[in-house]
Amino acid sequence: MIQISDVSIHIGALEKEWPLSSIQRTILERMAMSPATYVYRSLDVLKFEVKMREFIVLAAKNLYYSGAGFATFKESRCNPRYWNLTKEGGFQLKTNVEPAEAINDIFRNGKKYAFECATAIVIVYYKATIDSIGKDNFNRLFPNILLYDGVYDEDLHLTWTKTVEYIPGDVQYFKNPEYNPKTPEWQGENVVLLEGNRYFAHGIGIKTKKEIIVELNNERKPGATVSAYLLEQAARPDFAYLSQYAEEDTEKRQIHSPAENRFTIAQIGSKTYIKM
């Protein structure tokens, strides 16, 4: 269920004022059919989350097609024009390099990069944030990026939560409890949920849940009997917090105040109408 200002919202009412892409429609349908209630203080915040979720999905796909390789931290590599490779295998942003430009380079020149799956997820988040709030705001928010083992800037406000519904753009984790100690990189896999119940799993590809479990089970220690499995939890950034940096909303807030009162919701019978 989706609510704005304590009023339940139907997709049909939204798409009259907001043309939906196929991915956005899938995201909204998952929300609308969920037994959980997704509550938003304004239509702008809902639109921002749906669009950023779409950008997360697109970033995951584009990272897959970029040619970026999978590597352990010991064997990680990066483009030295933008990053310093740390002794631990992390990528430290170089001085006088624009953060957004450095992140975008990973997608343009993927073959110059190789990294672990946890690092891949953070790269996906950063790319989606750039596309959601613009380069200038991103550069101000994330001036000192270190890409390493799931390390991320606190301004993403990431949280792991248990939920009854998983939505495209969610990050999840497959655990492999009896992994081979000789290949600890396969003790689990961070993934991005895409549409069609498929996942982006760096180092494995774009696969179904069953296919990822098969891949991880092939990396277990000899004699293992416990299967890999998907944890029932998801990581999500604070969409509402990040929405305040959206460039289009910044312009609107200079003209209209407060942001929450730029539309009217009318409930007539079983139908909901939104007037911008």
Residue 153 has pLDDT above 60, yes or no: yes
- Whether 39 is in a domain gets the answer yes
- Whether 257 is in a domain gets the answer no
- Whether 32 is in a domain gets the answer yes
Amino acid, single-letter form, for residue 81: R
Proportion of the chain above pLDDT 90, given as a percent: 74
Residue 227 has pLDDT above 90, yes or no: yes
Residue 154 phi, psi (nearest 5): -65, -20
Amino acid, single-letter form, for residue 22: S
The structure's pTM equals 0.88
| List of residues 6+ apart from 275 with CB closer than 8 A | 263, 264, 265, 266
- Whether 220 is in a domain gets the answer yes
- Whether 238 is in a domain gets the answer yes
- Helices 43-65, 247-255: inter-axial angle, 10-degree rounding: 160
Amino acid, single-letter form, for residue 114: A
Dump pLDDT digits (tens) for 92-116: 999 999 999 999 999 999 999 999 9
Alpha carbons 57 and 194: distance in angstroms, whole number: 6
76: β partners: none
- Whether 207 is in a domain gets the answer yes
Upper half-sphere CA count for residue 102 (Cβ side, 13 Å):
26
Instruction: Please spell the DSSP secondary structure of 81-100, one letter per residue.
Output: TTEEEPTTS-EEEPTT--HH
Closest to 274 in 3D by CA, of 10, 6, 2, 1: 10
Tell me the C-alpha to C-alpha distance, in Å, between residue 206 and each of 17, 63, 202.
Answer: 33, 11, 8
Look at residue 6 in the predicted model and tell me its pLDDT.
79
Number of domains in the chain: 1
Sign of dihedral through CA atoms 128, 122, 1, 257?
negative
Residue scoring higher pLDDT (17 or 84) = 84
DSSP 194: -
DSSP 3-state of 191: strand
Dump pLDDT digits (tens) for 194-222: 999 999 999 999 999 999 999 999 999 99
- Whether 126 is in a domain gets the answer yes
**Domain range spanning residue 20?**
2-252+262-275
Residue 181 phi, psi (nearest 5): -60, -20
- Whether 155 is in a domain gets the answer yes
At residue 248 the predicted structure's pLDDT band, cuts being 50, 70 and 90, is: low
